[in-house]
Amino acid sequence: MAQYLETLGRKKPFEPRTFAETHLARRLNKLDLTSLGVAATLGAGIYVVTGVVARNISGPGIVISFLIAGVASLLSALCYAEFASRVPKTGSAYIYSYVTIGEFCAFVVGWNLILEYLIGTSSLARGWTEYLDSLLDGRYQNFTAEHIGHMHAPLIAKFPDFLALFLVLLVTIPLCLGVSVTARANNVVTAVNLVVILFISIVGFSLAVKQNWTNNFLPYGFSGVLAGAATCFFSFIGFDVIATSAEEAINPTKDLPLSMVLTIGICFIAYFGVSAALTLMWPYNLLPERGALPKVFALRGAAWAQYIIAVGALCGLTASLIGGLFPLPRLFYAMANDGLIFKWLARIHPKTEVPIIATVVSGVLAGFLALIFELQELVEMMSIGTLLAYTVVAFCVLLLRYKPGTIGVTMTTLSDSEPPLVTKNERIKLLADPTKSPTEETSLRATICICIASALFIFASALGIWGQDAILAHKGWAIFLACVIGVLILVTLMYLFRQPKNETPLPFMVPLVPWIPLLSIFVNIFLMLKLSYLTWIRFAVWMVIGMCIYFFYGIRHSVEGQRQKELGNYIPLQQVDEKDPKETSEEPQPKTDEDKPEAAKEKTSDDKRDEFSTPS
C-alpha cells in the first residue's frame, strides 16, 4: 500500500539551471503574451454578460461586481505568476502540481484543463455563429434547418453547425504554422477588439444620462452586487493561457508574471468601461434581453454604431477562439511528454517547432464538439476545471512557501547564469536567515494547517450557500455552526502564521502570504460549490474516463516512473540547502566513480541533461 501511494505521489524533478532548454520555439515577447491573455479573456463576456448581469442581477452596480470579480481573479493570477516564474515550463497548473504535490494530482488537474479548453473552444465557435446569425436575422439557422434538417437527441444541438466546425479548423491553420504566425494573427484581431471596446466606452459616455445611476444605483442591493460578481468572475477566466506558453516565451521568468497582471488590468478596464457606458446610456430595467449593446446604441439614436460593435464582437470572439485553442495542444504535449497520455501527441514538427499532431487533434476534437453538441448545458463543466486548477496552484504556492530548501528558479539561480542581475554582496543578502528558515517539522505543521483550513473553507462555503436563509433567520444551529467554523478557521490561520516561511527570493513572489493564496482558495471553493449538481455528475463521468486512461496507460508509461525504476530508488525533488551561504554559492564537486551508484556510472552528463529536456 505504501509503495502504491508513493507511486501516485511521485514528483517530477525540475532542474533550475536547464529551465531554458526546450524543443519549442521561443518567440513570444511581453506584447504577444499579454495579447494572448487578453484574447482568451475578452470574448463573448463583454458583449453578452454585461447586459444580462446589469438587467437581471446587479443593475448599475455591475461596475462594482466587475471590480470584486477582478480582484478575486487577481488573487489567482498572482499565484499563477509566482509559479510561472518559479517553474517556467509548458503545462500551466498541471506541471505546477506535478512538481509540488505528485503525479496523480497532476493528472487530475491536467485532465480537467483538457476539458476546460475543449468545451471553451467549442462553445466560442458556437457563440460566433450564433452572433453572426443574429446579425443575419436567423437566416443561417433557417437555411441549415431547411436543407440539412434537425437532430433529435439529448444534449445534441437542434441542427449541425458546419460553420462552427469550419471556423475551428480555420483557426487551427495558423496554430500549425508556428507560434509567430499565431501571435501575429492574434495581435491583429485583439487590437481591433480593443479599439472597438474603446469606441463603445467613449461614445457611450458621450450619450450618458446621469439619472440612470443617481436614481437607483443598487436596485438589487449589495447581495445583487455579490451575485453579479460570482457571474462576472468567469468573464476573467483565460489568463492561464499565458502560463501554458512558458516554453515559448523569450524571457519567461520576467514576462509571464508581468503579462498575467497586465491581462487582468486591461480586462478590468474594458469590462468597467463597457458596463458603465451601457448602464449610463439606458435604464438597467429596460435593457434588451439579447444584444443589449448594439440595440441600446440604436435606441439612443446611434444606429450606425451597431456595425462597428458587430465587427468588434466577431473579432473578439475570433481572438478568444485563438486564445482558447492555443493552450490545448501545449497541454497535450506536456502530458504526453511525461508519458501520462499517448506519447505520439508530443511529436514536434521540425520546421514550425509546434506539437503538430496535438494541434491537429485539438482542432478536430473541438470542431467536432462544436458541430453536433449543444454546449450550453456543458459550459459549467469548464468552470470546474478552471476553478480546480486555480485552487491547486494557490495550494501549491502555500506548500512551497513553508517548505525548506528551494524548488524551481530563484534569484540565486538567475545570478549564476546572468551575473549582471545580482552582485556578489547582494547574492549573500538574498539567502534566507538560518534562524528563521523552515524545517521539515515546521513544514509538516504548515501543511496540516493548510489542509485543515481548506477543509474548513468547504464547510464554511456550504453553510454560506445552503444555510444562508437559516443564518438570516437567526436559527440557533446555523449561528452555532458559523461561530464554530469561524473560530476554527481563525485558530488554524493564527497557528499557520506563526510557522517560519521560506524567504528565498524568487523572480516574482506573491505578496501577503499566506493571506492572498488562502483567500484565493476560499473564493474558488465557494464558486465550485455554487455550480449545479448536474455539473458535478458530468464532472464525475469525465473523471471516470480519465482514471481509466491513467490507471491502464499513464501509470505504466510514466517517464518519471521509468526513470525511478532505472535508478532503482526514489529520487526526491532537488533541494538546495540555503542555511550556509558559502555552500550555496559554490558548485558541488562531482563524485568519483567509486562514490557513484552502479546505475549512475552508466550515465554521462549529457544523458542526465536529456532526462529533463527531451521527450521520450
Q: What is the DSSP string of 489-517?
A: HHHHHHHHHTSPP-----SS--SSTTHHH
pLDDT confidence of residue 485: 95
CATH number, domain containing residue 224: 1.20.1740.10
Q: How many domains does the chain have?
A: 1
Of the ranges 63-72, 287-296, 404-413, which one carries the lowest mean pLDDT score? 404-413
**Is position 209 within any domain?**
yes
* Residue 250 confidence (pLDDT) above 80: yes
Smallest CA-to-CA distance from 159 within 186, 129, 193, 182 is with: 129
- Looking at the DSSP bridge assignments, the partners of residue 373 are 156
**Is position 420 within any domain?**
no
SS3 (DSSP) at 214: helix
* Residue 486 confidence (pLDDT) above 90: yes
Tell me which of 585 and 245 has the higher pLDDT.
Answer: 245
d(CA 405, CA 579): 9
Q: If pLDDT is split at 50, 70 and 90, which confidence band does 19 have?
A: low
Q: If pLDDT is split at 50, 70 and 90, which confidence band does 536 have?
A: confident
Query: Are residues 69 and 239 in contact, defined by beta-carbon separation less than 8 angstroms?
Result: no
Q: If pLDDT is split at 50, 70 and 90, which confidence band does 495 have?
A: very high
Query: Are residues 278 and 53 in contact, defined by beta-carbon separation less than 8 angstroms?
Result: no
Residue 122 half-sphere exposure toward CB, CA atoms < 13 A: 28
**Is position 252 within any domain?**
yes
d(CA 286, CA 58): 14
Alpha helix (H) residue ranges in 550-596: 555-557, 559-567, 581-585
Please state, as a whole number, how many other Cβ atoms lie within 10 Å of the Cβ of residue 169.
16
Q: If pLDDT is split at 50, 70 and 90, which confidence band does 18 have?
A: low
Please state, as a whole number, how many other Cβ atoms lie within 10 Å of the Cβ of residue 436.
10
**Is position 341 within any domain?**
yes
Give the three cell numbers for residue 90.
509548458
Give the three cell numbers for residue 253.
521568468
* Residue 496 confidence (pLDDT) above 50: yes
Peptide bond preceding 514 in cis form (omega within 30 of 0): yes
The arithmetic mean of pLDDT across residues 291-314, rounded, is 86
DSSP per position, 169-191:
HHHHHHHHH-HHHHHHHHHHHHH
170 phi/psi in degrees, rounded to 5: -65, -40
Give the three cell numbers for residue 240.
492561464
Smallest CA-to-CA distance from 87 within 376, 311, 400 is with: 400
* Residue 443 confidence (pLDDT) above 50: yes
Give pLDDT tens digits for 582-600.
444 444 444 444 444 444 4
Q: What single letter denotes the amino acid at residue 19?
A: F
Smallest CA-to-CA distance from 501 within 450, 572, 427, 453 is with: 450
* Residue 427 confidence (pLDDT) above 70: no
**Is position 172 within any domain?**
yes
Q: If pLDDT is split at 50, 70 and 90, which confidence band does 413 have?
A: low
**Is position 210 within any domain?**
yes
**Is position 485 within any domain?**
no
Q: Quick one: what percent of the chain has pLDDT higher than 70?
A: 84
Q: If pLDDT is split at 50, 70 and 90, which confidence band does 547 have?
A: very high
SS3 (DSSP) at 87: coil
Give pLDDT tens digits for 116-174.
888 888 888 888 888 788 778 788 888 887 777 777 776 677 788 899 999 999 999 99
Query: Are residues 180 and 27 in contact, defined by beta-carbon separation less than 8 angstroms?
Result: yes
Smallest CA-to-CA distance from 331 within 352, 351, 350, 345 is with: 345
d(CA 346, CA 325): 17
* Residue 612 confidence (pLDDT) above 60: no
**Is position 379 within any domain?**
yes
The arithmetic mean of pLDDT across residues 382-401, rounded, is 87
Tell me which of 418 and 405 has the higher pLDDT.
Answer: 405
d(CA 426, CA 379): 50
The arithmetic mean of pLDDT across residues 261-289, rounded, is 92
pLDDT confidence of residue 247: 86
Give pLDDT tens digits for 97-111.
898 888 999 999 999
Tell me which of 97 and 376 has the higher pLDDT.
Answer: 97
Give pLDDT tens digits for 124-135.
888 888 878 877
> Residue 255 class from Cβ within 10 Å (0-12 exposed, 13-18 middle, 19+ buried)?
buried
pLDDT confidence of residue 591: 43
Of the ranges 207-221, 244-258, 436-450, 593-607, which one carries the lowest mean pLDDT score? 593-607
Which value, in Å, is the radius of gyration of the alpha carbons in the chain? Answer: 25
Query: Are residues 115 and 382 in contact, defined by beta-carbon separation less than 8 angstroms?
Result: yes
Of the ranges 299-308, 330-339, 375-384, which one carries the lowest mean pLDDT score? 375-384
Q: Quick one: what percent of the chain has pLDDT higher than 90?
A: 35
pLDDT confidence of residue 10: 86
Query: Could you list the residue range(s) of the whole structural domain that residue 208 is in?
Result: 29-90+114-383+537-562
Q: If pLDDT is split at 50, 70 and 90, which confidence band does 61 have?
A: very high
* Residue 480 confidence (pLDDT) above 90: yes
State the average pLDDT for the chain. 82
